[in-house]
Every structure is written in C-alpha cells, then in structure tokens.
Structure 1
Amino acid sequence: MATFGTPPARRPSARVRRRRLFAGIAGAVVLLAAIGGTAAAIGFARAGADDQETDAAPTATASATPTPTPTPLTPEEQLLASTTDPAACAVSFTGDGIADAPMLQTQGALYAGLPIPTRDGLVFAGWYATPADAAAFAVPARVNGSEPVVCTDQRVTLYGAWMSPEQNAAEDARIPILMYHQFTANPGGESGWLRGNYAYIGDFDAHMNHIATTGFYLPTWDELSAFIDGRLFLPNHSVIVTDDDADQTWFDLAAPVVDKYKVLTTSFMITAYRQDPPPNAYVLRRSHTHDMHRAGANGDGLITNLSVPEIVADMEASYGVLGVKEIMAYPFGHHNDTAKEGLRQAGWEMARTIEPGYVTIGTDKLALPTVRINYGMGLDALVNLIG
C-alpha cells in the first residue's frame, strides 16, 4: 500500500562523504593560513614600528641642544650679589705681591678698613688711583680712609705700591698730631684761666683751609700704627687733626668747618658726659675715657690712681658707647705704667699725651706726642709747626 508524505533522505555514498571531508579540511587550512598571515603581518608591522622608534631615538638625542655651563661669578660679582644696596661698591686691590680679597664699601662714604699688606723686605707705600700714581708715590692720588668712595658701575680698583726700608727711612717723616680744645667766635678770645684753650674759629678756618688745599696727607689711626712699626710709608707732608673733650663749641663752631673743608678729624669724647653721634662724616669719635677725666687722690688725673682692672672697666664702658678702641687721649695727658697696662688689657693700641713732639718710626704707641694749638695761633704759627 502506497504511503504519501516526505520521502526519506538518502544517505550520501562513502565517496561523496570523503570529498566533503577533504573540502572541509582544505577550507580550514586556508582559513588558518589567512589568520596566521594576518598575525604575522601585524607582528611584522609592530616590529617595523619598534625598529623605526629604536632608530629614531639616537636622532632625537643627537639633535638636542646641550645645557650651557654657567660662568662662575667673579669675587667682585659675588660681593655685589650679596647685597641689595644700590650704593654698594666692590673695591679690588692689585699690584706686585698684592693678594688681598676685594671688599664692599659704600659709595659716597669714607673708605673704611682698607688693608695694609705686608711683604718681606719691603714697606707698603699706600693705595693709589692709577698704576702711574702708584709708581710715582703721588700723594694727591693716594687713597685712604680720609677719602670718599667713588665708583664706576659699582666697582673701583686701587693700586698698591712698595718701597724699600731705606727709601722709607730717607723720608724721615715726622707726623704732627694737632690738639685743639674749645673754640670761640670772639676774635679777642675768652677770659679766665682756660683762655688759652679757646682757639678763634677764624684761625681754625684758616688752618683747615691750609691743610685741605696744600697737599697734606691725612693718615688714619691704623696707618699711623703701621708707620710707627716701619710697615707703612707716610709722607712728611702729613697731619692728624684732633679735638679734646667734645665741648659744645666743637659741635657748634668747629665741626661745620671740618665738613666745609672735608678734613678728617678725631674728637676725643668723655663718654660719661657725651654720647653725641658724629656731627659729620669727617669726624671720628674716639675715647677720652669714660669717667676718668677728673683728678685723683694724688692730684693728677684719676687714671694714674686706679688699678689695672679699674682702668679696664672704665675703658670698656667707653667702648660700649663708641664701639671702637684703637686710640684714646689721656685726661690732662697724665699717664703711668699702670695706665698703659690697663689700656693694653682693655684692647687699646695707642694713646695720645699732651707732650710736645712729632710721631716718628718707633714712637711709643701708648705715649704719642702732640702739637698743641692755643688761642692766638694764626695761620703763620701753624705753618711754622707743620709746613
């Protein structure tokens, strides 16, 4: 009996099945080959990129600009870099055997603390504005603490000079230390037992004008000390101006004259009674003791009656006011060995007496002589004393 519906599927023959298997395997092989080729291509591409990057790196390094090494600052530049003061000036020192480092000074102020070099067998002859001035020992061009600092572009160079000890001795310099006291505007002078102490201010003006205009060299105290030691040349035409007591007439009458002529001077102050600041740039304050400007039990100055520790204590009190030691003036000029030892132990190097005379090489630093100026001594009298 016939059956209607979908006829049953015929199973392929074994031959057909083998052909299909071979075709499938071949397709898989082709697919795998394609995939492998793509992977290989990607790998080759990546490797090529890596090679390009590796090759490019040296090119980038070779083309980079090297960082320049900064030029070291000179000693002068280092000094100026350490301050913001527009008036700062780097002062350099040069000359045979000169090895002093540059130092900062303030333009317009007086030079302070200039070095005094030493050299075996020679005497330092000072600092000068030019090499030619140094070679000639030209006093008008010699630079020291009596001169204001003048700079160009915040720099200046000073030139050192040397001479032989024989040349220095041949100068036979005798340095006067002028000693003034009080001043008067009265041409006829003052009355009383201290009349001689009061110099007429008109005479003082003439004195300072003479010193300022006739080529005098104005040594600083450290220069005077080195001169006494034979280490520094000072010309014979030198002078040091001092005033004792810092009387009010010194401030009112004399100090303006000092400023007018720009003459370096020293005011010896009794610091228990006066602590005034310098009236101008040309006045140095130094000690006339703190409170020893009075008589002692023996009738002489108190300093000759005290022990070394007592003298030291008084002078330290004076130092506390002035902030400097270096030189002092004995009250009334009185001194003895105990006074000298007290000064030494307190740190003072020099002391001025009232004994008449001039400072020379080898003078006792704790007994410096002086040239006293009294009332009535006009210009001629001064010229006779100092030239």
Structure 2
Amino acid sequence: MRKRRRKKRRSNKKFIRISQIMIGIILVVGIIIGFNQYRINKDKVVYSNDVANGQSSDSDNQSNEVTAANDNKGVPVLCFHSISDDPKAKSSIVIPKDKFKQDLQAVKDYGYTTLTIAQLNDYLFNNKPIPKKSVIISFDDGYKDNYTNAFPILKELNMNATIFVISSYLDGQVYMTPDEVKELSNYGIDIESHTFDHKQLSTLSYDEQYKELKDSKDSLEKLIGKPVTAIAYPEGKYNDDTKKAVVEAGYSMGFTIERGYADKDDSRVLLNRICIDYTYKPSDIKKVLENLRK
C-alpha cells in the first residue's frame, strides 16, 4: 500500500513538473509572438485605400518615412484627360497609351505612393500623416478611354486614381457608361464630380452653379453608392459664388488647374493641380514631382 502511495506521489510530482514545463514553454512562445507582433505593428504604416477588393496600392513604394501631421509638404495632384492612340484625336491633352504608362512608371520608379482623395483630405485638413513621397493621379471628364486604356495600366501598376466625371455625359461612346463608372468605383478608383453638364461655372448665377454641383453629386452618389466629396472645376474656372456653392452643395474639396502643389495653405475649395500633356517625358514627371515651386 505504501509503495503504491509513494508511486502515486511520484507520478503526481512528475505530472506537475511536466505541466509546469509546458506552461513555461507556452508563456515564452506567447511572449516571443507578442513582441514580434508589436515590432511589426510599430514599424508598419497603414494607409487605408478603401479598395473594395482589399488590395493596397503602391505597397512596394511605402516606407516608414512619413510627412508629419503638422508639416505642410505640398502634394502634387497630376491631371490627365484622354488616354488614346486614335490618330484622329489630336490634342495636347490626348496622351498615347505607351506614353501614359511611361509617365505612371516614372511615378512608381521615383518611389511615390498614389493617394486616395480621402487620404489627401485627411492629410490637408485632419492632420493625418502620409508618405513623404505622395501624389494624386487624377483624370478630368470621364472619357471612355479612361476605362478601356488607363484602367488596365493602373491595375497593372497597382495605383490609386481619381476620375472627375461629368455626370450627364455618360453616353458609352465618347465617355464612359454608368456601368463602367460603377465598376471603377467598386474596384477602388475614386469617382468624383466634374459638374453635371460641364458648364463654365464662372458664367453662371449662384443658383445655377449650386444646381450644377448638387445635381452632379447626387446623381453620382446614387450611381456608385458612395459619398462624392470633391469637385474639379470645368476649365478651372470659378468665382466667389463658386466657392460658396461648393460648400453649400456638400463638397469637401475643390480643384482648380492653377499650377502648383495642393498644400495646407490652399483654400480647401481652391486646391492646385498640375496638368500633364503628351509632351511630358519621365524626366519632366520627376521635375513636377520633386522640383516644382509655386
């Protein structure tokens, strides 16, 4: 009987020692995992792109080097229009596909991260940090070739972009169809307003301007099921009534075509952009990104 008791006590002690060792191992492993996760989270800068399919753009260009919230480093907002190889479409704002791809590849090669409109808004007005090398890729008008030609290149290079759409022009011929606009939005391309009828706002009364802005915003939001927060002025024209109407219509940002960077000294309804035409080379893109001064 005593032998059985001693044997049982030895067995219990052995079980306790094994249990203590196992608990110790679990605790050590947990500490190591927790510490590594802490380091990863500490070093990682997360930028939400609101991309419906969950992808993060320009991930290979992002770094821990950010523009501080209280800094006022301007952000280049590049403005494109039509991307086409059609020989009949001769205009300074029509850029061949290969040339457009070279422009975007230059942006990527120089280490720039393409922001969403929400990220730009948060940086300029909500003191949120962004990568030091940040840029907005934008398009005016919503041409059909933005979908057929530009979109595949944006996907290939994994870049964010913003298209300012004329909401009553979605005819499927010169301009995109509503379904194409919706597809772009669902993918993660920002769809914003270029007014309802592309009327030169500075020639209109306040009430007419407000209607142009509000009707565009309402129709686009109904189409894509997302807030429309930014407006690009047709031909860059505006007046004092425009600035008031933009705010009253519910927009957060208004973009001109006045050459310069968008920065915190700009009025939120008079943000600068840089129009890109077919003459630009990769070296010109670099100058625009890094050397342009107001």
User: Does the alignment reach a TM-score above 0.5?
Assistant: yes
Q: Secondary structure at the match of 1:352?
A: strand
The unaligned stretches of length 5 or more in structure 2 are 1-36, 56-63, 171-177, 222-226
> In structure 2, do the counterparts of structure 1 residues 373 and 134 end up closer, same or farther at CA, with 3 Å as the change threshold?
farther
Where does residue 158 of structure 2 map in the other structure? 262
Q: How does 1:131-210 map to 2 (within 5 A)?
A: 131-132=38-39, 135-136=42-43, 138=44, 141-145=45-49, 149=54, 167-169=68-70, 172-185=72-85, 192=90, 195-210=91-106
Which residue of 338, 346, 359 corresponds with 2:249? 346
Partner of 2:281: 378
The match for 1:289 is: 195
- The aligned amino acid for 1:308 is Y
Match of 2:174 in 1: none
CA–CA distance in structure 1, aligned partners of residues 183 and 81 of structure 2:
16
Q: Which has the higher contact order (CA 8 A, sep 6+)?
A: 2
SS of 2:181 mapped into structure 1 = coil
- Superposed CA deviations along residues 259-280 of structure 1, whole A, max 9, x for unmatched, are 2222111111111111342443
Gaps of 5+ in 1: 1-129, 151-160, 295-300
How far residue 220 of structure 1 moved from its aligned partner, in angstroms, is 2.3
> In structure 2, the residue corresponding to 1:204 is in which secondary structure?
helix
Return the offset for 1:285.
Answer: 1.3
CA contact (8 A) 1:184 1:198 kept: yes
> C-alpha displacement at 1:214, in angstroms?
5.0
Return the alpha-carbon distance in structure 2 between the equivalents of residues 131 and 366 of structure 1: 40
**What percentage of residue pairs aligned between the two structures are identical?**
21
- Give a deviation string over 1:245-264, Cα, whole Å, max 9, x none: 11122222112111222211
How much does 1:203 deviate? 1.6
CA distance in 2, matches of 1:181, 1:282: 19
Q: 1:385 to 1:317 in 2, by over 3 A?
A: same
Answer whether contact 1:288 1:330 (CA < 8 A) is retained.
Answer: yes
- TM-score normalised per structure 2: 0.69
Q: What is the aligned residue count?
A: 229
Could you say what secondary structure the match of 2:168 adopts? coil
Q: Does the aligned pair in 1 maintain the 2:117–2:162 contact within 8 Å?
A: no
Q: Deviations over 1:14-35 (max 9, x none)?
A: xxxxxxxxxxxxxxxxxxxxxx
Out of 130, 138, 154, the residue aligned to residue 234 of structure 1 is 130
Displacement of 1:146 in angstroms is 5.9
2:146 — aligned with what? 250
- What secondary structure does 2:169 align onto? coil
Alignment partners' CA distance in 2, 1:149 and 1:249: 25
1:376 CA drift (Å): 2.1
2:116–2:190 contact (8 Å) kept in structure 1: no
Equivalent residue, structure 2, for 1:225: 121
Is the 1:228–1:363 Cα contact (8 Å) retained in structure 2?
Answer: no
From 348, 361, 366, give the equivalent of 2:264.
361
Distance 1:198 1:307 in 2: 32
Structure 2 Cα separation of the partners of residues 316 and 358 of structure 1: 27
State whether structure 2 residue 235 is matched by structure 1 residue 332.
yes
2:214 match: 316
Cα distance change of structure 1 residues 249 and 220 upon mapping to structure 2, 3 Å threshold: closer
Deviation digits for residues 212-263 of structure 1 (CA, Å, limit 9, x no counterpart): 4554223222222232236112232001100001112222211211122221
- The whole-number CA distance in structure 1 between the counterparts of 2:266 and 2:169 is 31
Query: Quick check: which has more Rg, 1 or 2?
Result: 1
CA 1:174–1:134 in 2, change beyond 3 Å: closer, same or farther?
farther
Shift of 1:134: 5.3
Distance in 2 (CA, whole Å) between partners of 1:380 and 1:279 is 33
Q: In the superposition, relative to structure 1, how do residues 191 and 249 fare at CA in structure 2: closer, same or farther (>3 Å)? A: closer
Shift in Å, 1:177: 0.6
Distance between the aligned counterparts of 1:271 and 1:244, measured in 2? 12
SS at match of 1:243: strand
Change (3 A) 1:263 1:282: farther
TM-score normalized by the length of structure 1: 0.54
Q: Indicate the SS of the match to 1:360.
A: coil
Contact 1:333 1:354 in 2 (8 A): yes
In 1: Cα distance, 2:107 partner to 2:38 partner:
26
AA partner of residue 177 (structure 1):
V
Question: Deviation above 6 Å: which 4+ runs of structure 1?
Answer: none
How far apart in 2 are the matches of 1:144 and 1:213?
Answer: 22
Counterparts of 1:97-116 in structure 2, within 5 Å, are none
SS at match of 2:247: helix
Spell out, residue by residue over 1:340-384, the C-alpha distance to the aligned partner (whole angstroms, 9 max, x if none): 111111111111100000012232110110111101212221122
